[in-house]
A and B are shown apart, each in its own frame.
Chain A
């Protein structure tokens, strides 16, 4: 089954404790992206990657890191989480960064930073 998986689905952590949210896709997609969803703000792009070893900042990259060492995986790293990073996070992938290729989203990771 074609899918994007994220782990963990739910995470409660404390300020400053480094964490990683994993994302994996099995569709051989080149383009992968991370979004956060906040009430009244919709989905905002954090980072994206157009291929292996190619990553770039989205609209809200501060406080986040990513890496793309393999085509299928695109982990999101919070080196020192803060309460304002409490949010719902989605990973997405597609064949291309062009809009005529739909993005497939993972099920989401709900992160709470206390």
Chain B
């Protein structure tokens, strides 16, 4: 049973436009959410996180929004750059401290 779902396997965006990556979860007890970015032949790297007590966290071009009632979070990248092309994983942490990852969305930013 996939508790964290990224329903879009891929997304293509023009350089300079907004990229929106979505993530849905089923467990209302998750108390922390994170986004990781992964380039080919490398391990995932931490991008941004949000606590369940907040609804928005911003870091430069990256903003994560959390909608607890809809059990949905999204990552906005504005403006998108070709170097943002990567696989993005959404992850949720349960109260036992375990991270549960989504399937990943491959973002392609075209010049």
Partner of B44, one of A41, A97, A98, A105: A105
Stretch in A42-50, A63-71, A73-81 with 4+ CB within 8 Å of B: A42-50
Please state if B43 and A99 are interface contacts (CB–CB under 8 Å): no
Which residue of chain B has the shortest Cβ distance to A41 in the bound complex? B103
Contact size range, A: 20 to 34
CB neighbours (8 Å) of B31 from chain A are 99
Contact in complex: A105, B43 (CB < 8 Å): yes
- The distance in angstroms between the C-alpha atoms of A39 and B100, with both chains bound, is 16
CA distance A4 to B42 in the complex (A): 11
Main SS at interface, chain B? strand
1/0 per residue A93-111: CB within 8 Å of B?
A: 0001111101111111000
Residue A34, interface by CB 8 Å: no
Write out the residue numbers on chain A whose beta carbons fall within 8 Å of the beta carbon of B9: 40
Docked CA distance A54–B80 (Å): 42
Report how far A99 CA is from B96 CA in the complex, Å: 10
Residues of A within 8 A of B60 (CB): none
Residues in chain A within 8 A of chain B (CB atoms): 4, 33, 35, 40-45, 48, 58-59, 90, 92, 96-100, 102-108
18 A-B residue pairings within 8 Å (CB atoms)? A40-B9, A42-B89, A42-B101, A42-B102, A43-B91, A44-B101, A48-B98, A58-B98, A97-B97, A98-B93, A99-B33, A99-B99, A100-B51, A102-B34, A102-B46, A104-B46, A105-B45, A107-B41
